[in-house]
Structure 1
Amino acid sequence: MMRGISRKGFLKTAVLAGGAIGFPAVVPSAVLGKNGSVSPSNRITVGLIGCGRRSGVGGEYNMVRQSKLLAVCDPVKWRREASAAEWNVPDAHNDFRDVLARDDIDAVHIVTPDHWHVPIALMAARAGKDMYVEKPLSLCIGQSLAAREITEKHGRVFQYGTQQRSMRHLRMGIEIVLNGHIGNVKEVYVWCPGGAKGGSATPELPVPEGFDYELWTGPAPMKPFCEDRCSPHGPPKATYFCYDYSIGMLGGWGAHPVDQLQWWADAENKGIPVEYKTTGSLPTEGLFNTVVTWQMEATYADGTKLYFMDSKTARASQEIPGIEKLKQFGNCTVFVGEEGWVAVSREGMLASTEALRRKAKDPGPRKLQESSWHPIAFVDAIRNGTQPVSSLDSAIRSDIICHMGDLCVRTGKTLGWDAQKEMVTGSAEAVKMMHRTMRDPWTL
């Protein structure tokens, strides 16, 4: 929240401001209670925070009777107006705090650049909102750990944007592994698309009219505006590839296949690896400065190995079982056991034998939580008071794995993770990098 403005003062101020612009008279479902007491005729009301590339999900809340999108928000005027018009939403806000202050909104869907995810999520929880947060979870490990406040202190429903958990074939593939059909898992291979080089900080340009660049930058360092840093007219560039706002594809795309790993690891009570060796490349010139390629070898406490890399490195590997079949997958999680392997990707599910793959029809008694539509599963969790399929605790664990890889590349050190202290070990520099300085007046 902002220094110098108390939570009570912020809410009172924002609510008064909201009343002046005419919020719709919709009774929020939260007023009527949860745990099954909400009548089907009372929809969960949602505010969309961020109208960029992933914001198309906002319209899904208007496709079912359980929910209603009431407001959109973006610091780019034409984006929020276009989204509001597309989904017939009555209100388009510039400032997310106006959305959080609304008493007629139950939940928010956060689709901002990565550096805003946890700060907004924490403010949403303090304002009494449930939330769906797009991946990756955070900008640094410290933010990931701070996010626990959302559920532990405020008891809010949190759904992580790893929608692959709502894909039936992925769930069934992991259930094959959990039911022992490949024997004990010895190692897991994970990959996703790598990063990008280039980008230019010049020419410095005037901030376009209708773009609140100050608010977009928020807690990140203020830098001169240029198209490659933040393009309000097109797809994000530095939003993914500039370290001020993201750790790059390692976390932004890695969140998906690492989450599939974590789904299995959580079911097996394995936690996360305790040792990380990661090599990789960083750009040496240009604006972009997140990891481009990487190759991680991580070890769990029981000796199980995790190998996490970019897809280019994976396709060139001679170590990954079945890689000739699996090169078609841009992101993938491959579980290798004593008796075979199973690979899951949003693009499909493959196994070392056809007979093994067919086990998906009836893998056995050990089951994972079923979900068929990620945003609506979030709505159902709010209505029923149940745990979403992509929980905050699991998000924190998978997010830390990605950050550990980034820290290894940046420090050039082999690092450890102390699960009891929740602390990086092996490098004082890496310990400092667990946290990011936030620009005034923003704090967690």
Structure 2
Amino acid sequence: MNQTPLRFTRRRFLGTSIATAFAGPQIVRAETLGNNSKTGANSRIGLGFIGVGLISQGHVASFAGMKDVQPLAVCDVRDWKIKEAVGKLKELGNDDIQTTSRFEEVLANPDIDAVCVMTPDHWHAGVAIAAMKAGKDVYVEKPMTLTIEEGKLMVEAEKKYGRIVQVGSQQRSAVHFRIAANLVRNGMIGDIKEVYCRLGTFPKQPKEETIIPVPEGFDYDRWLGPTPFYEYSKNRAEGNYGGGWRCYWDYGSRKFGDWGAHHFDIVQWALGRDDTGPVEFIPAGYDGNKYHHFRYADGITVWRDKQPDHGHMIRFIGTEGEVHVSRGKVETMPKTLVRHRFGEGDEQVYESKDHRQNFIDSIKSRKPTICPATVGKRSGEICLLGGIAERLVQPLKWDPVTEQITNNAEGASMQQRPRRKGYELPDIG
């Protein structure tokens, strides 16, 4: 475990102390928890949760129920969210939880081996890189970063510090997407010509905001973090799958970073291109184009929201058939193809049946997860480049080797974003 010295300040917004002064390990015996199915304390992975909004609910419950995991800390800039998460953990038999609004305090805890980063997108890289530097393994929600340059730094940190990273592109751990990827990879529908991906839309960012007082117990300036300062409005900082902060370019890439981070990731996986990417991005509205799309060097074109999608999230169109896949279902043309069984001589993708368990297993084995930072970077680049093209309403040419926009100086400048003073990325040397 990491032995970084502790530098804590006591947080009083909950009636819970910060982990009983750390006089000894914070891992408690399974018998004390009333859960004898848990493994021995010394072999359990100490886990901290950073950012406990909507997406965290499944993570908190799932990780806390694993026999090899001991939840030890909850961090958020909203005290009521901390209270909710700690309450849930207590229901599941976990006490003595460290509580703080400063993720640095979680990273300084030597009993924490790994963290689950579930903040809005603009905090992903800063927290994850700091965690790796502190010797922690990282589960980070998708999209992995807010900018292209952050993605490069994530990969650099993953390699330099020898950490395990799992990006929350959990569709890779779902059986129906794995079936689809194997069918496409093995040429079962011939040469792929086009792919349709359904992303949907978000409301536009409001032109005028209703400015109201910051709620008590909310460190709003810290929530803004590296992004520009704006007076508080409810919508700007709201966690909402249908909008809220996800509508703002300041904090993410809108639908590209929402569903695009899932579906474009599956396209990359199925096409066997986790170490490369497309070469051209054409936004909707440019030169009469109705649909945003991007192309690979071999001409395969991926369309956003093009119809018909036959009721599926992703439609792969080949010269000899089609594969249609969504969460919970996969269909093929011809219909019998979906029942194809692959043999030892066929190419088959990495098999994970549980994304979170895959992370825990990789922590123990020190073997890569199904979606490490190298993969998260490439899938994330597609989302971020799509967002840049949409904002400029200009086509972009992309060199997947140098990872640079080559035809548009303004677009190239958007591969990174200015960060507010005091919220710089950690130096990884």
Q: Scaled by the length of structure 2, what TM-score is found?
A: 0.86
Task: Find out whether 1:145 has 2:152 as its counterpart.
Answer: yes
How far residue 53 of structure 1 moved from its aligned partner, in angstroms, is 0.2
The farther-off stretch of 178-187 and 43-52 is 178-187
- Cα distance change, pair 295–21 in 1 and its aligned pair in 2 (3 A): farther
**What is aligned with 1:52?**
53
Seq. identity, %: 33
Secondary structure, in 3 states, of the residue corresponding to 2:193?
strand
Residue 62 of structure 2 aligns with an amino acid whose one-letter code is: E
Show the counterpart of 1:285: none
User: How far did 1:423 drift?
Assistant: 0.6
Per the TM alignment, residue 169 of structure 1 is displaced from its structure 2 partner at its CA by 1.7
What corresponds to 2:171 in structure 1?
164
In the alignment, which residue of structure 2 is the partner of 1:377?
A: 358
Distance 2:193 2:112 in 1: 47
Q: Indicate yes or no: 2:63 matched with 1:61.
A: yes
Cα deviation, residue 128, structure 1 = 0.7
Deviation at 1:333, TM superposition (A): 2.2
2:279 is equivalent to residue 277 of structure 1: no
**Residues 198, 300 of structure 1: CA spacing in aligned structure 2 closer, same or farther, 3 A cutoff?**
closer
The unaligned stretches of length 5 or more in structure 2 are 12-17, 28-38
Quote the Cα distance in structure 2 between the aligned partners of 1:273 and 1:235: 28
Q: Which amino acid aligns with 1:231?
A: E
* Alignment correspondent of 2:183: 176
For 1:279 and 1:363, locate their aligned partners in 2 and report how far apart those are by CA, in whole Å: 43
1:80 alignment counterpart: 82
1:125 maps onto 2:132 in alignment: yes
The reply on whether 1:306 has 2:298 as its aligned counterpart is no
Displacement after TM superposition at 1:362 (Å): 6.4
| CA distance in structure 2 between the aligned counterparts of 1:147 and 1:427, rounded to whole angstroms | 25
Match for residue 115 of structure 1?
Answer: 122
Contact 2:202 2:243 in 1 (8 A): no
| Residue equivalent to 1:189 | 196
- Shift of residue 296, structure 1, vs aligned partner: 2.5
Distance 1:354 1:24, change over 3 A: farther
Indicate yes or no: 2:395 matched with 1:414: yes
Residue 294 of structure 2: SS of its match in structure 1?
strand
TM-superposed CA distance for 1:151, in Å, is 1.4
Deviation at 1:268, TM superposition (A): 5.5
The SS at the match of 1:383 is: helix
Partner of 2:230: 223
Structure 1 residues 77 and 360: alpha-carbon distance in aligned structure 2, compared to 1, 3 A threshold: farther
Q: Alpha-carbon deviation of 1:108?
A: 0.3
CA distance in 2, matches of 1:439, 1:269: 32
Counterpart CA distance in 2 for 1:206 and 1:375 is 38
Report the CA distance between 1:364 and its aligned residue.
6.4
- The amino acid of 2:46's aligned partner reads T
- 1:406 maps to a residue whose letter is G
Provide the residue aligned with 1:106 in structure 2: 113
Equivalent residue of 2:157, what SS?
helix
Query: How far apart, CA to CA, are the structure 2 residues paired with 1:73 and 1:346?
Result: 30
> How many Å separate the matches in 1 of 2:346 and 2:392?
44
Change in Cα spacing, 1:21 to 1:270, as seen in structure 2 (3 Å) is closer
Q: CA RMSD in A?
A: 2.7
Return the match for 2:249 from 243, 256, 279: 243
Shift of residue 202, structure 1, vs aligned partner: 3.6
Q: What displacement does 1:107 show? A: 0.3
User: Could you tell me which amino acid in structure 2 is paired with residue 279 of structure 1?
Assistant: A
Check conservation: 1:75, 1:213, Cα contact below 8 A: yes
Distance change >3 Å, CA 363–CA 294, structure 1 → 2: farther
Stretches of structure 1 lacking an aligned partner (at least 5 in a row): 1-7, 29-37, 282-292
Query: What is the alpha-carbon distance in structure 2 between the residues aligned to residue 111 and residue 133 of structure 1?
Result: 6
Task: Give runs of aligned pairs for residues 352-391 of structure 1, distance below 5 A.
Answer: 352-359=333-340, 365-391=346-372
Looking at structure 1, the residues matched to 352 and 235 of structure 2 have their Cα atoms a distance apart, in angstroms, of 38
In 1: Cα distance, 2:175 partner to 2:234 partner: 39
Q: 1:202 to 1:195 in 2, by over 3 A?
A: closer
Matched, 1:438 2:419: yes
> CA-to-partner distance for each residue in 1:277-325, whole Å, 9 max, x for gaps?
12259xxxxxxxxxxx982332212222222x14xxx3xx3xx5xx3xx
Q: Which residue of 2 aligns with 1:337?
A: 318
Counterpart secondary structure, 1:386: coil
- Give, in whole Å, the separation in 2 of the partners of 1:240 and 1:365: 40
Match of residue 351, structure 1, among 332, 342, 345: 332
Q: Is the 8 A contact 1:230 1:237 kept in 2?
A: no
CA distance in 2, matches of 1:207, 1:173: 46
Change (3 A) 1:150 1:142: same
Displacement of 1:22: 2.0
Query: SS in structure 1 opposite 2:197?
Result: strand
Shift of 1:158: 0.3
CA contact (8 A) 1:175 1:363 kept: no
1:44 Cα deviation from its structure 2 partner: 1.0
2: CA distance, partners of 1:24 / 1:252: 42
Structure 1 residue 13: Cα displacement: 6.0
Q: Distance in 1 between matches of 2:112 and 2:395?
A: 46
Query: For the residues of structure 1 that align with 2:7 and 2:41, how far apart are their CA atoms?
Result: 30
Q: Number of aligned pairs?
A: 398
| Secondary structure class of the residue paired with 2:55 | helix
CA distance in 2, matches of 1:205, 1:123: 33
Partners of 1:201 and 1:228 within 8 A in 2? no
Structure 2 CA distance for partners of 1:280 and 1:51, relative to 1, 3 Å = farther
Give 1:42's aligned residue.
43
TM, length-normalised to structure 1: 0.83
SS of match in other structure, 1:22:
helix
- In structure 2, the partner of 1:264 is 270
Q: Give the secondary structure class of the aligned counterpart of 1:45.
A: strand
Counterpart residue number, 2:30: none
Q: 1:101, CA displacement in angstroms? A: 0.8
Does the C-alpha gap of structure 1 residues 152 and 198 become closer, same or farther in structure 2, counting only changes over 3 Å? closer
Is 1:396 aligned with 2:377?
Answer: yes
Give the whole-Å Cα distance in 2 for the aligned partners of 1:343 and 1:244.
33
Aligned partners of 2:77, 2:273: CA distance in 1, in Å? Answer: 43
1:147 alignment partner, SS class = helix
Residue 292 of structure 2 corresponds to 296
Residue 119 of structure 1, CA deviation: 0.8
Query: AA paired with 2:50?
Result: I
2:176·2:329 contact (CA, 8 Å) conserved in 1?
yes
